[in-house]
């Protein structure tokens, strides 16, 4: 058989061999993908199981409504929970308008030049900066230079800096997903640029913007390092009642309990983690629900 | 991202349409040239549009029909590298003069796009959008009803005004977009292949609608469909791509004359299907 003949009428065996190999590689990667997925699920399951067996029975009204104490039986995380909620509220108030405003500027107003691209690149980089660096910035800028002290507001401003890049990136994606045909439709009716943004782009992007913001806030509530750096306290036996009060937050309280030698405090830490997880999961479900509602309203 | 970059001329010289002895002209272009970046898309277009007529623009793909249409409501300047030279005169005023606000031009020169693009809002809010952004002070319910009636959509949606505009069929969506454009009471309606995404029945309804609307306003329609141009337009402009690569206006005449006795061989080749 000459080479020419082979080229003209390929032997069926040549094809069969490639079929088998292709089917095998398909199965192989299917298997790998399943294992990768299971790995994450198993780890999450183990973590939740471990924490809930130890921590769930700790969580009761007494635990939520009492201040930390040297005596494990009396200890609770009231001040830490309130501190976390205060900090979260002010972080949202600061970071949401700044983040969405920056995203609107970058997507709808900024000219497409090297400066804009430079800013965009650096915002993406900021999202990857270690949180402790933000803590040092917050310490220098808000606690010392603005002389706010180690208060809720200083913590919120530091956290706002930390999650600002996340909010900007998520909001930009949401804004970019709004089709240009809607922008054109709005302009064609005599809308100004701001009217177009306000009445067409923002309502369509609201679901994505809110989801991104809530996920960023969920990150803020779990962060510890920047707040330790700015000097949030570890032992707070009073309620923080406003932005200018000294405070602690849940992760710091948990860390504090874990670092004590007594076993009872480790159980308290597990209880604290349960509370933290519940707050986090509530925030995430809220994000999913809001996205669902926005999408349904648009259809 | 949409950016605004356009050469606006300092002069605000009103160009009188009477200079060519033609007084009933609502829109005209003189020496209109258009570029995307360094690519010239339109070359020296002189064109007079008469009021209360349907003007069809036909021609092969890439001849600049849509670009030409978008010169009339300054939509092209939303494209970053767009550049325009020459004049577009609307009611004796150069709409590209520096003193003219494109927002005001677009209220008077409405537009309907190739693909229906209703806002993800209720039918009512879609129609009320234009009046609202333009600060309309009158009775909004009445404005919405009138516009939907003019677009021949009222009977189908009057019980469902709160329903999302996206829930309508393609043809209804396009009529909603027409109603939306009519709600700001424009003098001119630009239509960029408004039926190309629709089935034949929906197309027929839009064509009927265009014939009715002609009584009240000026319509310029870009179409790929020569039968459609012949059916609905009073006058037809034939564009083609010149050897330079830019779009040029070859022939502009009464529709009947253009389709039966074209003067330019390129027009004849195109309408008889030998080219394009």
3-class secondary structure for B154-165?
HHHHCCCCCCEH
Tokens 């200083």 map to which residue? A154
Q: Which residue of chain B comes nearest to A194, CA vs CA?
A: B133
Nearest to A188 among B1, B106, B121 (CB): B106
Nearest to B133 among A107, A191, A204 (CB): A191
Is pLDDT above 90 for A55?
Answer: no
| Residues A45 and A264 sit within 8 Å (Cβ to Cβ) | no
Domain end marker among A19, A35, A58? A58
Question: Which one has a higher pLDDT value, A51 or B239?
Answer: B239
Report CB contact under 8 Å: A190, B103.
yes
pLDDT value, residue A73:
77
CATH topology of domain B17-271: Rossmann fold (3.40.50)
Contacts of B115 in chain A (CB under 8 A): 181
Read out DSSP for A9-62? Answer: S--HHHHHHHHHHHHHHHHHHHHHHHHHHHHHHHHHHHHHHHHHHHHGGG-SHH
| Residues B133 and A190 sit within 8 Å (Cβ to Cβ) | yes
pLDDT value, residue A66:
79
- Are A8 and A154 members of one domain? no
pLDDT value, residue B16:
44
Any idea what the CATH number is for the domain that residue A98 is in? Answer: 1.10.3720.10
The pTM of the full predicted model, rounded to 2 decimals, is 0.82
Q: Is the dihedral of CA B148, B153, B156, B157 positive or negative?
A: negative
pLDDT value, residue A79:
86
Q: How confident is the model at residue A299 (pLDDT cuts 50, 70, 90)?
A: low
- Are A182 and A280 members of one domain? yes
| Residues A195 and B133 sit within 8 Å (Cβ to Cβ) | yes
| Calpha distance B22→B235 (Å, rounded) | 15
Q: Which of A113, A189, A204 to mutate to test the interface with B (most CBs of B within 10 A)?
A: A189
| Residues B65 and B42 sit within 8 Å (Cβ to Cβ) | no
Is pLDDT above 70 for A20?
Answer: yes
- Are A106 and A42 members of one domain? no
- Are A51 and A184 members of one domain? no
| Calpha distance A154→A158 (Å, rounded) | 6
| Calpha distance A88→A158 (Å, rounded) | 11
- Are A25 and A69 members of one domain? no
**In the structure encoding, which two tokens stand for residue B80, read together?**
């970053």
- Are A97 and A224 members of one domain? yes
* SS3 call for B83: strand
Is pLDDT above 60 for B10?
Answer: no
Is pLDDT above 70 for A5?
Answer: no
Contacts of A112 in chain B (CB under 8 A): 1, 3, 80
| Residues A280 and A249 sit within 8 Å (Cβ to Cβ) | no
| pLDDT, tens digit, 9 for 90 and up, residues B173-228 | 999 999 999 999 999 999 999 999 889 999 999 999 999 999 999 999 999 999 99
| Calpha distance B17→A6 (Å, rounded) | 76
Of A34-38, A291-295, B36-40, minimum mean pLDDT range: A291-295
- Residue A71: which domain range? 61-298
Q: Which residue of chain A comes nearest to B189, CA vs CA?
A: A188
| Calpha distance B68→B74 (Å, rounded) | 10
pLDDT value, residue B18:
43
Domain end marker among A58, A78, A94? A58
pLDDT value, residue A279:
87
Q: How confident is the model at residue A147 (pLDDT cuts 50, 70, 90)?
A: confident
Chain A residues whose C-beta sits inside 8 Å of any chain B C-beta: 107-108, 110-112, 176, 179-192, 195, 199-200, 203-204, 297-299
Contacts of B166 in chain A (CB under 8 A): 298-299
pLDDT value, residue B119:
94
For residues B92-114, average pLDDT: 93
Report CB contact under 8 Å: A181, B3.
no
| pLDDT, tens digit, 9 for 90 and up, residues A69-99 | 777 777 788 888 888 989 999 999 999 999 9
- Are A42 and A72 members of one domain? no
Report CB contact under 8 Å: B130, A108.
no
Q: Which residue of chain A comes nearest to B179, CA vs CA?
A: A189
Residue A16 Cα distances to A7, A10, A21, angstroms:
16, 11, 9
| Residues A108 and A201 sit within 8 Å (Cβ to Cβ) | yes
Contacts of B70 in chain A (CB under 8 A): none
Report CB contact under 8 Å: B107, A199.
no
Is pLDDT above 60 for A122?
Answer: yes
Report CB contact under 8 Å: B177, A185.
yes
Contacts of A195 in chain B (CB under 8 A): 133
Partnered with residue B110 across adjacent β-strands are B189
pLDDT value, residue B114:
94
Q: How confident is the model at residue A8 (pLDDT cuts 50, 70, 90)?
A: low
How far off is chain A from B267, nearest CA to CA, in Å? 32
Q: Which of B79, B81, B100, B117 to mutate to test the interface with A (most CBs of A within 10 A)?
A: B117
pLDDT value, residue B276:
54
pLDDT value, residue B1:
38
**In the structure encoding, which two tokens stand for residue A192, read together?**
């100004």
- Are A222 and A239 members of one domain? yes
For residues A184-203, average pLDDT: 94
The count of structural domains within chain A is 2
pLDDT value, residue A63:
81
pLDDT value, residue A4:
52
| pLDDT, tens digit, 9 for 90 and up, residues B232-275 | 999 999 999 998 999 999 999 999 999 999 999 999 999 988 76
**In the structure encoding, which two tokens stand for residue B134, read together?**
């333009």
The ipTM assigned to this model is 0.87
């Amino acid at each position: 058989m000459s080479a020419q003949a082979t080229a003209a009428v390929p032997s069926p065996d040549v094809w069969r061999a490639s079929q088998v190999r292709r089917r095998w590689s398909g199965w192989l990667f299917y298997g790998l993908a399943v294992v990768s997925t299971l790995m994450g699920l198993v780890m999450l399951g183990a973590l939740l199981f471990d924490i809930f067996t130890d921590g769930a029975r700790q969580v009761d009204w007494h635990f939520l409504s009492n201040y930390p104490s040297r005596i494990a039986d009396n200890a609770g995380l009231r001040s830490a929970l309130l501190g976390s909620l205060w900090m979260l509220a002010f972080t949202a108030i600061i970071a949401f308008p700044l983040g969405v405003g920056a995203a609107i500027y970058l997507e709808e107003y900024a000219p497409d030049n090297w400066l804009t691209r430079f800013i965009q690149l650096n915002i993406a980089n900021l999202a990857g900066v270690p949180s402790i660096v933000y803590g040092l910035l917050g310490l220098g800028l808000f606690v010392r230079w603005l002389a706010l002290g180690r208060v809720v507001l200083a913590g919120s401003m530091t956290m706002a800096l930390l999650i600002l890049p996340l909010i900007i990136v998520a909001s930009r994606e949401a804004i970019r997903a709004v089709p240009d045909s809607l922008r054109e439709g709005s302009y064609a009716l005599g809308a100004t640029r701001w009217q177009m943004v306000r009445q067409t782009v923002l309502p369509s992007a609201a679901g994505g913007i809110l989801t991104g913001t809530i996920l960023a806030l969920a990150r803020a509530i779990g962060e510890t390092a920047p707040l330790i750096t700015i000097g949030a306290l570890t032992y707070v036996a009073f309620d923080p009642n406003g932005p200018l009060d000294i405070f602690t937050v849940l992760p710091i309280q948990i860390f504090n309990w874990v670092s004590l030698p007594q076993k009872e405090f480790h159980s308290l830490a597990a209880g604290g983690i349960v509370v933290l997880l519940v707050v986090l999961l509530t925030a995430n479900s809220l994000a999913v629900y809001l996205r669902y509602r926005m999408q349904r309203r648009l259809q | 991202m949409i950016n605004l970059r356009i050469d606006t001329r300092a002069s605000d010289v009103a160009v009188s349409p009477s200079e060519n002895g033609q007084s009933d002209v609502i829109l005209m272009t003189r020496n209109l040239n258009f570029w995307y970046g360094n690519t010239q898309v339109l070359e020296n277009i002189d064109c007079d549009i008469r009021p209360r007529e349907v003007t069809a623009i036909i021609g092969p793909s890439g001849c600049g029909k849509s670009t030409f249409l978008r010169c009339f409501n300054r939509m092209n300047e939303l494209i970053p590298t767009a550049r325009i030279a020459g004049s577009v005169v609307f009611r004796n005023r150069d709409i590209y003069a520096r003193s003219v606000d494109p927002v005001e031009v677009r209220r008077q020169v409405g537009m309907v796009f190739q693909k229906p693009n209703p806002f993800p809002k209720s039918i009512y809010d879609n129609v009320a959008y234009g009046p609202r952004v333009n600060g309309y002070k009158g009775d909004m319910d009445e404005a919405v009803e009138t516009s939907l009636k003019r677009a021949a959509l009222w009977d189908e949606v009057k019980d469902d005004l709160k329903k999302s505009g996206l829930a309508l069929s393609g043809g209804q969506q396009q009529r909603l977009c027409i109603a939306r454009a009519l709600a700001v009471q424009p003098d001119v309606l630009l239509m960029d292949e408004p039926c190309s995404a629709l089935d034949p029945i929906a197309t027929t309804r839009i064509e009927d609608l265009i014939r009715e609307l002609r009584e009240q306003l000026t319509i310029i329609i870009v179409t790929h469909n020569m039968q459609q141009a012949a059916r609905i337009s009073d006058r037809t402009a034939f564009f083609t791509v010149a050897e330079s690569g830019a779009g040029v206006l070859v022939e502009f005449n009464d529709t009947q004359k253009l389709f039966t006795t074209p003067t330019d061989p390129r027009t004849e080749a195109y309408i008889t299907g030998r080219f394009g």
